[in-house]
Amino acid sequence: MGRQSYDRRPMNNRNIIQTTFDQYGVEVGGIKRSGSWYVHSRETIVVLNLQKSQFALKYFVNVAIWILVTVPAEAPKPSECQIQTRLDALLPPDLETHLNELLDLQNNFESEARHSQFLDLLRKHLSPAIGAASTLDGLRAGEALRLVSSSLVDGDGQRILQVIR
């Protein structure tokens, strides 16, 4: 499949958070399906999902990892993945607060500032974890280990991670 292009101009009533998240999905080489971005490697699929709150104009970034040695998959839902977390769990407390402010459209941010600050957080804090989570060995150390330790890990994931630790 070819790479998807990205245009930051809002289309079909998409807001700056959604278009920025889509830009990031393209930057990390993801493929978009059913609202989630899928970053494939030989051993894992990292799933990035932007979830809107039911109660406010606020979003959450879900991060999930499907380990391919369990069952091959193309586009697992984040809730089906063996490892699941949110981006804010990967950040230091001050940045967690800032991310949550950026992802709340009721907070007063100029559109370009919201775009650049959100994209910067994704690049600096999520990209290293995505890279490290692309292999089973990578899940044992550094950024991916921090991601795993802040995640819900199902039984299959726990068994696989025990084997590789």
- Report d(CA 129, CA 34) in Å as an integer: 23
Which helix H or strand E contains 36, and what residues bound it? strand 36-40
Query: The sheet that has 36-40: what strands, in order across it?
Result: 31-33, 36-40, 44-52, 59-67, 83-86, 152-153
Q: What pLDDT, on the 0 to 100 scale, is given for residue 165?
A: 43
Q: What pLDDT, on the 0 to 100 scale, is given for residue 163?
A: 55
Q: What pLDDT, on the 0 to 100 scale, is given for residue 3?
A: 43
pLDDT, block means (10 residues), the chain with 165 residues: 44 84 98 96 96 94 93 90 93 93 95 97 95 88 78 87 61
Q: What pLDDT, on the 0 to 100 scale, is given for residue 147?
A: 81
- With tokens 């009721």, the residue in question is 106
Quote the pTM value: 0.87
User: Six-digit token pair at 34?
Assistant: 């059913």
Burial class (CB in 10 A: 0-12, 13-18, 19+), 72: exposed
- Report d(CA 111, CA 106) in Å as an integer: 12
Q: What pLDDT, on the 0 to 100 scale, is given for residue 159?
A: 86
Q: What pLDDT, on the 0 to 100 scale, is given for residue 119?
A: 98
